[in-house]
Amino acid sequence: MLILLTTLLAALRAIFRSRAALELENLALRHQIGVLQRSARKRPKLTAGDRLVWVLLCRIWSDWRSALAIVQPETVIAWHRAGFRLFWTWKVRRGQPGRPLISREVRDLIRKMCRENPGWGAPRIHGELLKLGIDIGESSVSKYMVRSRRPPSQSSQTWRTFLENHLTQMVSIDFFAVPTLRFQVLYVFLVLAHDRRRILHFNVTAHPTAEWTAQQLREAFPFDQLPRYLLRDRDAIFGLDFREQVRDLGIHEVLSTPRSPWQRAYVERVIGSIRRECLDHVIVFDAMSLRRILASYFAYYHRSRTHLSLGKDSPEPRPIQPPEMGPVVAVSQVGGLHHRYERRAA
């Protein structure tokens, strides 16, 4: 502030001085500024008042750049623009408020709708928000949408959505081997429905052939319950007779790539569960005993065992029993390997 007052007093005193004295003083001041620029190592510190003086000078003096030495002209222009922004910020805050802020919950909901529905644009999402009682402009919806490289008309659905839309029309088949007490190998054939992870059919044989496998497929599907897609691996057991049978039934085969069990994750996971929860704890005598053991396990699997992918429910939905129904009792299943817990009246 003192520098500003000194500058103003010097300007008033210059009115009464001669032109020659002013030119000599100007020369002396410029020489001193040059010496300071040459010897100073640190950037000069300017106060808000200093900036205001130069902003006013640049507005009333056209040749202000010729006298500028301590800063660059672009710096003075930047100060002017910053002052312009501060002025309008102050004016808006004192006047009417602008567009209302969008809450974080609404912004997250817009992005969620955009990700879950890649084919929706701003008008569709805006209409959905209006039905939820959220009063928001369509331009605001467009501002917070998740940007995609593709236009909505070319956006693809996710694999999860595609699979869920076809779950009721897809089944998987596979074999797995089980050793017996006498060191023989038995083969178990499984047919798994994807929608509720149900075992539609199983059988056991010591000598699997393409004809036997095709017969199991006919027994698994009545003619009014045929699936649309059959997912399997490239095992040689699925020979010509089997492929012809599948084609005659009007089922489309989908083959996984070689050595890619993750492409048949559902049936591979079921086989792993059968081994871990049942077959690893018993000794199989022959094919008949293996069928009996598997039938017992599949009864537990369908009616009692909960699944993460089914929302902690079983393939055959279990009702929730409230505490008022009675105390909890344990029901032995699979020969005592597992138990089902129920409430029963005392």
Bin 286: left if φ > 0, else alpha if -120 < ψ < 50, else beta.
beta
Strand order from edge to edge, sheet including 185-193: 198-205, 185-193, 170-179, 229-232, 252-255
Q: 39-48, 174-183, 209-218, 310-319: which range is least confident on average?
A: 39-48
Does some domain include residue 48? yes
Does some domain include residue 274? yes
Q: Once rounded to an integer, what is the mean pLDDT over residues 214-232?
A: 86
Tens digits of per-residue pLDDT, 60-75?
A: 666 656 555 566 667 7
Q: Does residue 340 have a pLDDT over 80?
A: yes
9 and 52 housed in the same domain: yes
Q: Does residue 178 have a pLDDT over 90?
A: yes
Does some domain include residue 22? yes
Closest CA to 190 of 303, 335, 294, 309: 294
139 and 266 housed in the same domain: no
Taking the C-alpha atoms of residue 216 and residue 241, their distance in angstroms, rounded to an integer, is 12
Burial of 345 (0-12, 13-18, 19+ CB in 10 A): exposed
192 and 68 housed in the same domain: no
Closest CA to 106 of 145, 65, 78: 145
CB 229 within 8 A of CB 254: yes
Residue 145 belongs to domain spanning = 104-150
Q: Does residue 50 have a pLDDT over 60?
A: yes
Instruction: Give the residue, 24 or 321, on which the prediction is more confident.
Output: 321
Report the CATH number that the domain containing residue 292 is assigned in CATH: 3.30.420.10
Q: Does residue 215 have a pLDDT over 80?
A: yes
Instruction: Give the residue, 19 or 197, on which the prediction is more confident.
Output: 197
Does some domain include residue 158? no
Does some domain include residue 327? no
Does some domain include residue 160? no
What's the CA dihedral at 68, 70, 74, 79 to 10 degrees? -100
Three-state secondary structure readout of the chain: CHHHHHHHHHHHHHHHCCHHHHHHHHHHHHHHHHHHHHHCCCCCCCCHHHHHHHHHHHHHCCCHHHHCCCCCHHHHHHHHHHHHHHHHHHHHHHCCCCCCCCCHHHHHHHHHHHHHCCCCCHHHHHHHHHHCCCCCCHHHHHHHCCCCCCCHHHCCCCHHHHHHHHHHHEEEEEEEEEECCCCCEEEEEEEEECCCCEEEEEEEECCCCHHHHHHHHHHHCCCCCCCCEEEECCCCCCCHHHHHHHHHCCCEEEECCCCCHHHHHHHHHHHHHHHHHCHHHCCCCCHHHHHHHHHHHHHHHHHCCCEHHHCCECCCCCCCCCHHHCCEEEEEEHHHCEEEEEECCC
User: At which of 73, 94, 115 does a domain end?
Assistant: 94
The two tokens of residue 179 are 């050793």
pLDDT of 288 reads: 95
Tens digits of per-residue pLDDT, 245-259?
A: 889 888 999 898 888
Other beta carbons within 10 Å of 222:
8
pLDDT of 54 reads: 61
Tens digits of per-residue pLDDT, 113-139?
A: 888 887 778 888 888 888 888 888 888
79 and 206 housed in the same domain: no
Instruction: Give the residue, 142 or 45, on which the prediction is more confident.
Output: 142
89 and 118 housed in the same domain: no
Does some domain include residue 215? yes
Q: Does residue 177 have a pLDDT over 90?
A: yes
Taking the C-alpha atoms of residue 118 and residue 97, their distance in angstroms, rounded to an integer, is 35
Taking the C-alpha atoms of residue 33 and residue 30, their distance in angstroms, rounded to an integer, is 5
What's the CA dihedral at 288, 292, 294, 297 to 10 degrees? -170
39 and 108 housed in the same domain: no
Residue type, 249: L
Does some domain include residue 306? yes
What's the chain's average pLDDT? 80
19 and 59 housed in the same domain: yes
69 and 203 housed in the same domain: no
pLDDT of 155 reads: 55
300 and 177 housed in the same domain: yes
195 and 302 housed in the same domain: yes
Tens digits of per-residue pLDDT, 270-306?
A: 999 999 999 999 999 999 999 999 999 999 999 988 8
Q: Once rounded to an integer, what is the mean pLDDT over residues 13-37?
A: 60
Q: Does residue 150 have a pLDDT over 70?
A: no
195 and 298 housed in the same domain: yes
pTM passes above 0.75: no
pLDDT of 29 reads: 58
Q: Does residue 27 have a pLDDT over 70?
A: no
pLDDT of 225 reads: 77
Q: Does residue 263 have a pLDDT over 60?
A: yes
Closest CA to 273 of 338, 203, 330, 340: 338
The two tokens of residue 192 are 């798994």
Q: Does residue 179 have a pLDDT over 60?
A: yes
pLDDT confidence tier of residue 184, bands split at 50, 70 and 90:
very high
Q: Does residue 192 have a pLDDT over 90?
A: yes
Q: Does residue 168 have a pLDDT over 80?
A: no
Instruction: Give the residue, 280 or 45, on which the prediction is more confident.
Output: 280
Instruction: Give the residue, 278 or 308, on which the prediction is more confident.
Output: 278
Taking the C-alpha atoms of residue 197 and residue 298, their distance in angstroms, rounded to an integer, is 11
User: At which of 94, 117, 138 does a domain end?
Assistant: 94
Q: Once rounded to an integer, what is the mean pLDDT over residues 105-117?
A: 87
Q: Once rounded to an integer, what is the mean pLDDT over residues 188-217?
A: 92
172 and 307 housed in the same domain: yes
- Structural domain count of the chain: 3
